[in-house]
Structure 1
Amino acid sequence: MSTSIEQIIQRTMMLCASTGAKLTTKRQHVLLVLLSTPVPLSAYEIAEQYKKRFDEALPVMSVYRIMHFLIQEKLVHKLETANRFIACAHIACDHPHEIPQFLICDRCKMVQEVGIQKHIMKELADSIEHTGFTLASQQLELHGLCKNCREISS
């Protein structure tokens, strides 16, 4: 069963209220911009889409502040290698999730969020720790070609 964008916004409002956070109108609108696009967007692209959709300018610095909030609330992910943002694929789910990882198509820029079991990430972190290296983030971003782009190439 598919969840509508309106249902997702209602769910995020409830999630934020349960943590004492406030999903302001501008935060909602930025989230709507991200939910309405199949590809990750930069802060500048978000500001541009925001202006087109809501007929109101939103400074890029405001976009970054809103992104910080949405990431903290686990509603949005930042793709570090691309410096772009994407709405969480599990934003409307009620069940616990695995650690999100991202498959990024280098041709069409589509992103698929996949979960990796926590014990696998713990084993990876433990293995890294034995080298004396301190892991700053457990987010993996794997680049390649999606199924559609691979079929086009064949």
Structure 2
Amino acid sequence: MGGIGKTTLAKLVYKDKRVKEHFDLQAWVCVSDEFDVLRVTKTLILEEVGLSTNADKNLNLLQFTLQDKLMGKKFLLVLDDEWYEDKAKCEVLSNPLKSGVQGSIVIVTTRNEGAASIMRTVPTHQLKKLGEENCWSLFAKHAFHDYNSNECTELEVIGRQNCEKV
């Protein structure tokens, strides 16, 4: 389901100081739209880990360069909003990632169970919708700030109706 917080949760983990201290390299890649191994490897991953690609269009050379950069390092890679289900392309993308040391992590956010299962080495974690009361509590906290929602009963009714629809 869109808007449930997959990217937000991944960002919280990615930006956490304790997480940053745990890894030698971190990269965030928004995959979305059309999946192209060359584009993801070159434009996103290599640039995210601080390598210049010099407009190279040779996937093998780019993958060797990435493999060399990751060799012996513990890395965190987030592949955000992934949709592809092509196992062969996934294997090509993941080959250079195997040069990282044990403890390296790839987090994949997706709405597509098929896409998640291709990269999966551990069970997937499905985010669930908030319950109605938790949804209301979160909504009220942001909508009313320091005010008591009971002082605005008309607005509370509207807010609760919106929380029922979520």
As a proportion of its length, which structure holds more helix?
2
**Common fold, TM-score beyond 0.5?**
no
Which has a greater percent of strand?
A: 1
The normalised TM-score by structure 1 is 0.31
Larger radius of gyration: 2
RCO higher in structure (CA 8 A, sep ≥6): 2
TM-score (structure 2 length as normaliser)? 0.30
